[in-house]
Amino acid sequence: MKAKELIARRVALELNDGDVVNLGIGLPTLVANYLPDGVTITLQSENGFVGLGPVREGENDHVVNAGGQPCGIVPGAAMFDSAFSFMLIRGGHVDACVLGGLEVDQHANLANWMVPGKMVPGMGGAMDLVTGARRVIIAMEHCAKDGSPKILKACTLPLTAKGKVSTIVTELALFEFKDGVLTLCEHAPGVSLEQIQASTAAEFAVAPDFAEMKISQKGLQS
């Protein structure tokens, strides 16, 4: 199983039936494909609607998500202006947001919007989401393309927000911030504690019930 699919399948188990959820562009958008049976979430898009649906052939390409990608809408969806959309986010009405990350550190800080010297389209709604959502889940690969850790003692890139990350899910592990402490809770199948330690620059605790990661079985052949 590819890393991104494994991450998305694990994140899918973090969402509860009835949640209002914002999925960031890229890897987070895969999460909706793996929601277990009986779990239905309402997807919110900061450009002005709730009720995003899957993209289907022939879909109206004038309906796009916050990343500008054509998307479907589901029965019961509602559209509104950006001001109302950000009132929902800033008012704490989004249960969870799932975002990608460039770096996360042991103080729950997130950097995910720019690399100095490279073209930046803008932060978008990320800084509002990490502040307003009740839970912030970061879905990202454990290391950068050059093999360097992305979970650090301190972020080196410009921050999106300070102290707002709740959970980190990678292809190696699941971490949670418990009482302000970065805590390793789960390891991916076949991954050892030593492998996780070698790929992580941050200091972290290991949960007493540290166990193998479970993933959504949606669509997997038995």
pTM for the whole structure: 0.94
> 46, 103, 171, 186: which one is catalytic?
46
**What tens digit of pLDDT does each residue of 135-183 get?**
999 999 999 999 999 999 999 999 999 999 999 999 999 999 999 999 9
Which CATH number, 3.40.920.10, 3.40.1080.10, 3.40.640.10, 3.90.180.10, labels domain 3-46+86-212?
3.40.1080.10
What is the pLDDT, as a whole number, of residue 56? 59
In whole angstroms, give the CA distance from residue 202 to residue 222. 37
Opening angle at CA 66, ends 4 and 74, nearest 5: 85
Q: Which of 70-74, 75-79, 108-112 has the highest mean pLDDT?
A: 108-112
Nearest 5°: phi and psi at 181? -110, 130
- Distance CA(71)–CA(47), nearest Å, equals 12
Mean pLDDT for the stretch of residues 52-76:
76
Residue 57 clears pLDDT 60, i.e. is over it = no
* Res 116: pLDDT: 85
Whole-number Å distance between alpha carbons of 120 and 23: 20
Q: Is 59 designated active site?
A: no
Pairing of the two strands 136-139 and 96-99? parallel
Q: Is the pLDDT confidence value at 123 over 80?
A: no
Q: What is the largest CA-CA distance in the chain?
A: 51
pLDDT band at 131 (very low <50, low <70, confident <90, very high): very high
